[in-house]
Structure 1
Amino acid sequence: MENNDILSKVKKIHFIGIGGSGMCPIAEILLHKGYELSGSDNAESDTLARIRSYGIPVSMGQRAENIKDAELVVFSAAIKDDNPELVAARQKGIPTVERSVMLGMVTRHFPNTIAVSGTHGKTTTTAMITQVLLEAGLDPSAIIGGKLPLIGGNGRVGKSDTIVCEACEFVDTFLQLNPAISIILNIDNDHLDYFGTVENAIRSFHQFCKQTTGTIIVNGDNANALKAVEGITNARIVTYGFAPSNDYCAADIQPTFRAREQFTVLKKGEKAADISLSVPGKHNIYNALAAFAIGDLMGIDAQQIAKSLHAFTGVHRRFELLGEFGGVTVADDFAHHPTEITATLTAAKEMGFSSVWAVFQPHTYSRTYLLFNDFVKALKIADHVVLSEILAVRETNIYNIYAKDLAEKIPGCVWFKTFEEISDYVIKNAKDGDLILTLGGGDIYKCANMIVEKYKKLGK
């Protein structure tokens, strides 16, 4: 990759969209490595406030003059080609790199890069691993897709040679990485607008495995993930899962009530530790097993790992409990793919609520159209379903698909155009002992906040 040595030749770096959750931690690491940074963004945010607290100058709005005397410009995937700062940089001959390329360059400064890949669970597992390593005194750097309460943000700069980061498969961004340790949590039929088929996705994960130098920790219960490691000889393969044949196995899984998953970890058939999680769902047992394997691989005492996994209370927008109002619990979750929705709603149904309300914002026309029947099946798990309009993200509606099409296939389902209407409807109809759970990868969290505010105004 021709960009590999660029960091050794520059001092001043400008970030377009520096407040983004994926940009902020990279900026922090580069700042601590002695680079002079500047940035721009279009909206105020917690991450932007954090960037400013380091004394990094940030311009609001994007204009050609913001790049000033930058020697390298970093931009996020959301930045369009006609962005005035990007155009100005290219006209001046200033090198420009997309965020995932910069992530690859940054991680190559860390001999022990731990990269967490998979269709679902990357953010939670990356956060779990960060907590395990940090509380064991290993001082890792981290780049996480959501806010980890322990560190008060979505990234940190450590003094060790270890960095933990997410490795996203979308448009093959994870192929910018050469990790020492890789994790494959699962491979599912997502991002088909890019991959076309699951087989193509598996091929990309296989290439990711070929770029791993030390160990690949793979979900041994996931057939697609196992296909991705077939024929891999450049790294050691370690498996985890519920099946006893895995190197790390979850045994004696206890029935759950209100967000407590309890199980025993067996390592090569021998008991390693009893685990009690503070986050709900069988999917989080898988995430915890992956984190346990990493901790064990790095020589952390099994009881210390168990303690950290118990202390882990989740990540922002991952089954995030927002409060209880007049007996009604309100929570928010990032789930936007049928597999994630199934896992989250199944966990919710096992938590002892009278009934579960799924308030879902479909995310992209292509995903809604291509996985239509899977969405219907997943959402039917809830007792009541309320839909918003489909969030377009980067697409136009060439599929002629609408929220009402989903609603027609789900018994009792209703849909509304605005969050205002949705919040009024659920507050009017939710009963004591119910859970209202907002779901989606877009801005449905605003609807959750609206519901909370309305309950507060009602004095609940």
Structure 2
Amino acid sequence: MAYHFIGIKGTGMAALACILHDQHKEVNGSDIEKYIFTQDGLVDRNIPFTSFDEKNIKDGDTVIIGLAFDESNVEVKAAKYNPNVTCYYYNEFLGVLLEEYNSICIAGCHGKSTTTGLVSSVLQKQDQTAYLIGDGHGFMPEDARHFVLESCEFQRHFLAYHPDYAIITNIELDHIDYYKDLDDYISAFQSFVNQVKKKVIIYGDDPYLPKLDYKIPYVTYGLQEGNDYVAKNIVQGQDGMEFDCFHKNECLIHVQLSEVGDPFLQDALGTFALAYELGMKPEQIVQGLQEYKGIARRFVIEEVKNSVLIDDYAHHPTAIRYMIDSARKKYPDKKVVALYKPDRYSRLQYFLEGFANSLNTADKVVLCDFPKNAKREDETITVTIQDLLNLCPNSILLDVDYQSADILKTMCPAVFVFMSSKDIYLLKDMLKEKIEN
């Protein structure tokens, strides 16, 4: 019996496939033929995958279906109508798997992936820790005790999980193609909180999280007085950040990290709070934070000759503003070029001015058009990339090709911040090649 993944190159799907492979299960899958960075982990583990074909569905298999797929996919239809096949959607299967471990879910509009990576790095100093990160990476060590899971709120998918612990990083309206309004969005997080079994760690500076109804113990972290865990005496610069970590007005430890940016500071503090609540010593926690290796497509820095190339998954106005600010903190003497490729028409239309305001904090704005397969959600969605260009003075429109990389090269030296949930990282690779040559 094999575990067959429909849409195995999806970020969560690829990570879950790696986890089941680490559990010595037979794993295979299918997806589109186009290269996606998440397939690297599959190749490293020799997990086979092919294009979609109903013949890939075999009697006795357990089929795990990516959340982007329905019965219009030939494999999904074949699996669902085969009585000899057991089917799960991605989040449904994870909900079952989590019950075998001390489970920790990381939720929130921003910072989920980074916080999941940080928590897994820290908890490994205490005990064997499995993790699933939304950058396509998953790992399941032998005799794992903890399981840390990035938990996405899109279409309330995270309600398939009933974790022992949770960190919630923030609440800010997103996925407006699904959620009716902010109240609807907040209600999803309230439902999620209701399913946590032991304790919730929340970002206390958030305007909404402290107002949720908590039936179990919760602790807060943030930069403002009144939180259970507070970062004080913060210094950020080219060499990273440092701060004092206080717990209930007691300074536990001085923290020095090589990363910069307010988002990373918040994620590191939330990780500290969880680990301390789980009984870890401050020195042990800081060591785990310092050993964090980063994750794919989250503020990944490459210094190439006299320029800097930064790749990030940012696809929301707040995340874009944070990334540009972090780049300025790290490289205060360099010009910052912000590059963005939108993913969903509904998201750009709803947050159009927010995207423009965030992008315009850079010295130069470069835009790429929507992916060719992007679809307008309904007839009320009329936005185009030109609408964003009009709001970004002196911005230009480029494509993901070598001709565009040549144009970018004329802007050197600079810090280029490539931001999208789509394939803008391919343009980054092309620019790197042009600069090196």
**TM-score class normalised by the smaller sequence:** over 0.9
Check 1:69–1:291 CA distance in 2 against 1; reply closer, same or farther (3 A cut).
Answer: same
Check 1:48–1:441 CA distance in 2 against 1; reply closer, same or farther (3 A cut).
Answer: closer
1:177 aligns with 2:166: no
Q: What secondary structure does 1:341 align onto?
A: helix
1:347 aligns with 2:316: no
Question: Which residue number corresponds to residue 385 of structure 2?
Answer: 403
More relative contact order in 1 or in 2 (CA 8 Å, sep 6+)? Answer: 2
Distance 1:117 1:140 in 2: 18
| TM-fit CA distance, 1:423 | 1.9
Per mean C-alpha deviation after superposition, the further-off stretch among 184-193 and 61-70 is 61-70
1:365 aligns with 2:345: yes
Percent identity over the alignment? 29
Question: Which residue number corresponds to residue 281 of structure 1?
Answer: 261
Structure 2 stretches lacking a partner, 5+ long: none
Whether contact under 8 Å (1:248, 1:289) holds in the other structure is: yes
Question: Which residue number corresponds to residue 150 of structure 1?
Answer: none
| TM-fit CA distance, 1:38 | 3.4
Distance 2:171 2:49 in 1: 39
Distance 1:440 1:427 in 2: 20
Q: What secondary structure does 2:134 align onto?
A: strand
Whether contact under 8 Å (1:252, 1:264) holds in the other structure is: yes
Counterpart amino acid of 1:456? E
Question: Which residue number corresponds to residue 3 of structure 1?
Answer: none
Check 1:425–1:46 CA distance in 2 against 1; reply closer, same or farther (3 A cut).
Answer: closer
Per mean C-alpha deviation after superposition, the further-off stretch among 29-38 and 288-297 is 29-38
Question: Which residue number corresponds to residue 7 of structure 1?
Answer: none
1:450 aligns with 2:434: no
**Deviation digits for residues 307-350 of structure 1, max 9, x if unmatched?**
2212324222111112222x111111111100101111111122
Whether contact under 8 Å (1:385, 1:414) holds in the other structure is: yes
Check 1:39–1:313 CA distance in 2 against 1; reply closer, same or farther (3 A cut).
Answer: closer
The number of residue pairs the alignment matches comes to 432
Question: Which residue number corresponds to residue 233 of structure 2?
Answer: 252
1:305 aligns with 2:290: no
Q: 2:405 aligns with which of 423, 434, 437?
A: 423
| TM-fit CA distance, 1:383 | 0.7
| TM-fit CA distance, 1:438 | 0.9
Check 1:158–1:168 CA distance in 2 against 1; reply closer, same or farther (3 A cut).
Answer: farther
**Deviation digits for residues 56-91 of structure 1, max 9, x if unmatched?**
5x3411212212223421111122422222111122
Distance 1:84 1:137 in 2: 45
Question: Which residue number corresponds to residue 333 of structure 1?
Answer: 312
Distance 1:337 1:357 in 2: 17
Q: 2:396 aligns with which of 406, 414, 432?
A: 414
Question: Which residue number corresponds to residue 79 of structure 1?
Answer: 69
Whether contact under 8 Å (2:222, 2:266) holds in the other structure is: yes
Structure 1 stretches lacking a partner, 5+ long: 1-10, 148-152
Question: Which residue number corresponds to residue 95 of structure 1?
Answer: 86
Distance 1:53 1:343 in 2: 33
Whether contact under 8 Å (2:304, 2:436) holds in the other structure is: no
Question: Which residue number corresponds to residue 358 of structure 2?
Answer: 378
| TM-fit CA distance, 1:300 | 1.6
Distance 2:300 2:359 in 1: 19
| TM-fit CA distance, 1:116 | 0.1
Check 1:280–1:156 CA distance in 2 against 1; reply closer, same or farther (3 A cut).
Answer: farther
Question: Which residue number corresponds to residue 57 of structure 2?
Answer: 67
1:139 aligns with 2:128: yes
1:225 aligns with 2:205: no
Q: What secondary structure does 1:194 align onto?
A: coil
Check 1:324–1:207 CA distance in 2 against 1; reply closer, same or farther (3 A cut).
Answer: same
**Deviation digits for residues 29-64 of structure 1, max 9, x if unmatched?**
4345564433233346675564466565x3411212
Distance 1:83 1:330 in 2: 37
